[in-house]
């Protein structure tokens, strides 16, 4: 909250591996639960990116330094995908744009990414929403051949774009299941609040939004 306004020459970029010790044995887990309270309290001067696959991780790590109008936190799947070998990867080169305002939308468009990815039945009545990571990757693979079910994967948590989120949904959706990774049962996660808030000012029939 006390950070200076971001600029092209003065901003913070933090690369955060999704890796957390849990339980008495401190076993490593890719859960995002410990970040749940922090993500909800970040000021609007922050962009939060989430990546999963090795190429995705490289591209978003590069994107984090290309964005100039905000501080950036990039959360990546260091637990699994980002450590995989045997992939052919393209190493991007960040264009120097000193003094110019470059938004997260500008950067993602140049890299052919979007705020949200949809997978599954294009006529789904039930859609699951998750932050990008191992759980979202598993859900994407699961819904591939499932009728009536889809999944929305969130690549950009902040700034949240309600119009883009609604546009990513099939028009047939009736129920949205939001999967928030939180520390304790009954805690309301930031993802649910963003999804629920997306429909507050929308017109027409609204789907039911449920925390899962």
Range 153-159 average pLDDT: 97
Q: What is the DSSP string of 19-80?
A: -EEETTTTEEE---GGGHHHHHH--TTEEEEEE-SHHHHHHHHHHHHH--SSEEEEEE-TTT
Range 98-126 average pLDDT: 92
Of 112, 205, 117, 130, the C-alpha closest to 169 is: 117
CA distances from residue 154 to 75, 99, 186, 201 in whole angstroms, order as listed: 12, 29, 22, 21
Q: Is 199 exposed, middle or buried (0-12, 13-18, 19+ CB in 10 A)?
A: middle
**Higher-confidence position of 6 and 183:** 6
Q: How far apart are CA 16 and CA 206, in angstroms?
A: 35
- Length of the chain (residues): 212
- Give the three-class secondary structure for 197: helix
Give the pLDDT band (50/70/90) at residue 126.
Answer: very high
CA distances from residue 97 to 16, 66, 71, 92, 165 in whole angstroms, order as listed: 25, 8, 16, 15, 29
Range 182-194 average pLDDT: 84
In this structure, which long-range contacts are made by residues 163-167, counting pairs with CB atoms below 8 Å and at least 24 apart in sequence? 164/114, 164/115, 164/116, 165/115, 165/116, 165/194, 165/195, 165/198, 166/198, 166/199, 166/202
What is the percent of the chain where pLDDT is above 70? 90
Of 5-9, 152-156, 180-184, highest mean pLDDT: 152-156
Across the chain, mean pLDDT equals: 88
């Amino acid at each position: 909250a006390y950070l200076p306004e971001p600029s092209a020459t003065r901003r913070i970029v933090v690369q955060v591996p999704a890796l957390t010790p849990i339980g008495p044995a401190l076993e490593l887990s890719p859960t995002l639960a410990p970040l749940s309270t922090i993500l909800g309290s970040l000021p609007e001067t922050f962009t939060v990116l989430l990546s999963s696959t090795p190429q995705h991780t490289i591209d978003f790590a590069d994107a984090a330094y290309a964005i100039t109008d905000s501080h950036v936190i990039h959360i990546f799947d260091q637990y699994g995908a980002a450590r995989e070998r045997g992939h052919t990867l393209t190493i991007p080169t960040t264009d120097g744009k000193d003094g110019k305002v470059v938004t997260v939308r500008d950067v993602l468009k140049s890299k052919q990414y979007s705020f949200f990815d949809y997978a599954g039945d294009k006529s789904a009545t039930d859609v699951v929403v998750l932050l990008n990571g191992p759980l979202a990757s598993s859900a994407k693979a699961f819904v591939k051949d499932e009728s009536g079910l889809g999944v929305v994967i969130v690549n950009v948590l902040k700034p949240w774009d309600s119009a883009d989120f609604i546009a990513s949904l099939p028009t047939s959706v009736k129920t949205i299941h939001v999967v928030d990774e939180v520390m304790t049962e009954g805690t309301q996660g930031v993802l649910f609040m963003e999804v629920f808030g997306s429909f507050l000012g929308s017109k027409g029939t609204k789907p039911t939004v449920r925390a899962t």
